[in-house]
Amino acid sequence: MKFKQPVPLTEIASLINAKLVGNNAASATGINEIHVVEEGDLAFVDHPKYYEKCIHSLASFIIINKETDFPQGKALLIVDEPFEAYLKIVNEFMPFNPSMQMQAVSAKVGAGSVVMPNVYLGNNVIVGKNCIIYPNVTILDNCTIGDDVMIQSGTVIGSDAFYYNKKADRDIHYKKMTSCGTVIIENGVEIGANCTIDRGVTGETRIGAGTKMDNLVQIGHDTIVGKNCLFASQVGIAGATKIEDEVILWGQVGVSKTLTIGKGAIVNAQSGVPASLGGGKVYFGSPAIDAKAKMKEFVWINRIPEIWEKLKK
């Protein structure tokens, strides 16, 4: 998430009640998670395991719960609860301010596009040219839809990430990490009915040009889908995963988080993908392996009784 304009670190420090160490004359351009942070941004970290990774990420300014060394030119903002500081910053610079009209005043719809009845377009939603948005679609704040996009009925674009901070000593164990990211749907994408595409937590979820998806498909936060992919019905992809161009996922395939499926891979129906898959191959099974190897497995399983008989002799 970027601020509308750079914000002096001293202002941030004051907001979150932080001890500011380092480059305290600087301004921050935004706040982001480590994996999508850019130079000039804030990032935050509360677990020693990730201190090094965060301090040496592209983040210029680190909200952290311990004073530690850091590269010259950067700054630390030291607080007890970096996660709470994150929530405070997002709440200050991107407050929840939902449009209560079906089409927000700030929403823009391009020439030649048809927005059918009962469609909700939130604040700053942009719909490109020659799109068809079917009835009962919901497109939430700040999402961007390209040209020649079709979105069928009941689909939700820009739902919040399923992303929580857990502390078992709280009465309610899970506290939501506010989603301040967005969804980008590129040109020529077509999305079926009753799909759900979550927004990035701080960054973006992106569906590449020409990708088509069937009904009841789930795309998690921060997932980047390439161009000209095909996702059949009831496919589910978790968060922060990368699907390269021309990948085909058949019906009810499930894909875990933070992995990569290589270009042109084909994953057969009902497979489960727990780890990255190379491009250009066909996969099957849960967990998914090479499809031919999986089919051989079935043959071998069928031969166990024969093996048993032979062994008895």
Contacts to a second copy from residues 88-127, by CB under 8 A: 96, 98-102, 114, 116-118, 120
* Closer residue to a second copy, CB minimum distance, 23 or 103: 103
* Closer residue to a second copy, CB minimum distance, 14 or 118: 118
Q: What is the CA radius of gyration of the chain?
A: 23
Q: How far is the CB of 12 from a second copy (least distance, A)?
A: 26
Both tokens of 214, joined, read 């069937």
Contacts to a second copy from residues 228-247, by CB under 8 A: 228, 230, 232-234, 236, 238, 246
User: Which of 251, 263, 282, 291: binder of a second copy (CB under 8 A)?
Assistant: 251
Question: Is residue 220 within 8 Å of 201, Cβ to Cβ?
Answer: no
Contacts to a second copy from residues 15-44, by CB under 8 A: none
Both tokens of 32, joined, read 């982001």
* Closer residue to a second copy, CB minimum distance, 110 or 251: 251
258 lies in the site for a second copy, by CB under 8 A: no
Q: How far is the CB of 106 from a second copy (least distance, A)?
A: 15
Using the rule CB under 8 A, give the single segment among 20-28, 41-49, 79-87, 226-234 that binds a second copy.
226-234
* Closer residue to a second copy, CB minimum distance, 27 or 215: 215
Q: How far is the CB of 305 from a second copy (least distance, A)?
A: 6
Cα–Cα distance for residue pair 247/226, rounded to 1 Å: 8
Cα–Cα distance for residue pair 89/202, rounded to 1 Å: 12
- CA-wise closest residue to 233 among 244, 255, 218: 218
Using the rule CB under 8 A, give the single segment among 24-32, 44-52, 60-68, 130-138 that binds a second copy.
130-138
* Closer residue to a second copy, CB minimum distance, 119 or 224: 119
Catalytic option among 47, 56, 173, 221: 221
Q: How far is the CB of 272 from a second copy (least distance, A)?
A: 4
Q: How far is the CB of 20 from a second copy (least distance, A)?
A: 32
Helix (H) or strand (E) holding 297: helix 291-302
Question: Is residue 47 within 8 Å of 98, Cβ to Cβ?
Answer: no
Q: Name the burial class of residue 306, with classes exposed (0-12), middle (13-18) and buried (19+) by CB atoms within 10 angstroms of its CB.
A: exposed
Cα–Cα distance for residue pair 96/243, rounded to 1 Å: 31
* Closer residue to a second copy, CB minimum distance, 177 or 224: 177
Determine whether 56 is an active site residue.
no
How many residues in total does the chain contain? Answer: 313
Ranges of beta strands (E only) in 177-276 are 182-185, 190-191, 196-198, 204-207, 212-213, 218-219, 224-225, 230-231, 236-237, 242-243, 248-249, 254-255, 260-261, 266-267, 272-273
Contacts to a second copy from residues 161-220, by CB under 8 A: 162, 164, 171-174, 176, 187-188, 190, 192-196, 198, 209-210, 212, 214-216, 218, 220
* Closer residue to a second copy, CB minimum distance, 8 or 298: 298
Contacts to a second copy from residues 131-170, by CB under 8 A: 132, 134-136, 138, 140, 148, 150, 152-156, 159-160, 162, 164
Contacts to a second copy from residues 265-294, by CB under 8 A: 269-270, 272, 274, 286-287
Sheet holding 2-8, edge to edge: 2-8, 27-31, 41-45, 61-64, 75-78, 19-22
The angle, 0 to 180 degrees and rounded to 10, between the axes of the packed helices 291-302 and 304-312 is: 40
Task: Kindly list the catalytic residues.
Answer: 221
